[in-house]
Amino acid sequence: MKNAFVFPGQGAQYIGMAQDFYDNFDIVRSIFEEASDITKIDIKKIIFNSTEEELKQTVNTQPAIITVELSIYEIIKREFGITPYLAAGHSVGEASALYVAGIVSKGDAFGIIGKRAFFMEREAKKTNGKMFAVLGMKDETLNDYLSRITEGIVVAANYNTIGQIVVSGDEKGTKALLDLFEKNNERIRTIELKVSGGWHSPLMEGAYNEYSEFLDGIEFHNSMEIKYVSNVSGEYETSGDKIKKLVSRQIISPVLWTRTMRKMVEGNIQNSIEIGPGSVLSGLMKRYDRSINRINIEKISDLEKLKEVL
């Protein structure tokens, strides 16, 4: 049986996520402590005893999500002994996939995200970027619109699934795009996302430069037994050196999640197991291809779902 382990990104977080895992497993409490030591953030406090406003600050959100994802993953590995055929993560979740695929150590996964969050939040305060979901438009159509924008900055940030793309940019660029949609009477929906920056766009160039320098000091191993799909290329990547470059570029490049799901379909994946808060990725897969069984694991009770299919 072929399983894919997929890990969600920023936006899926909520206060109290993984509380039952933390309360019932020593290994989870240990992982929370390790993450806190490395990132210098009190992960337990942020997740269980803060406010939604504090949790959604990028510098807190990203380490918190990765901590939850890797905690649940370790329980799945221990309780079921399963190894995925493929590992992939959406944006922030890519760090979890790097660890699962054996490309980086758990400690380095936390270190990578701690620095990533710091650099991105700092850059966001300088650039005041925005992000919008565009629903009901084909990729090619949106790309054509983007090519016609001549003022400001606006780019495709996430190709999430069929008919769902997120754009990112500054106020001038995003307004120009929305005005062009209106001028052409496009029958689509646009939703402004509640984010603090223009992620996956040229607005993150400053963060990208420093993040790249930081990653130079991190050891990336070749991907061997578990297939790893890069956000940036949408392809299987095996070279540790190349993966390192792609991980750094991810900050300023679109997340090609639709291509990731295509890889899952082409690889005859039977179960897409979403590990972490929420079920966003399961929803995207449902829209893309319903032939793949979708399971999301965010609570201890969800482990019963695995027992039914393994």
Under the banding of pLDDT at 50, 70 and 90, the label for residue 213 is: very high
Q: Specify the pLDDT at position 308.
A: 85
- 249 closest CA partner among 128, 91, 38, 60: 91
Residues 1-46: tens digit of each pLDDT: 899 999 999 999 999 999 999 999 999 999 999 999 999 999 999 9
Instruction: Inform me whether the pLDDT recorded for 195 exceeds 90.
Output: no
Quote the pTM value: 0.96
278 contact partners, CB below 8 Å, separation of at least 6: 8, 12, 14, 296, 298
Answer yes or no: 71 catalytic.
no
Domains of the chain and any CATH numbers: 3-125+202-309 (3.40.366.10), 129-192 (3.30.70.250)
Which of 196, 200, 201, 223 is labelled catalytic?
200
Answer yes or no: 91 catalytic.
yes
Which of 36, 71, 90, 91 is labelled catalytic?
91
Instruction: Inform me whether the pLDDT recorded for 181 exceeds 90.
Output: yes
Residues 47-97: tens digit of each pLDDT: 999 999 999 999 999 999 999 999 999 999 999 999 999 999 999 999 999
Under the banding of pLDDT at 50, 70 and 90, the label for residue 211 is: very high
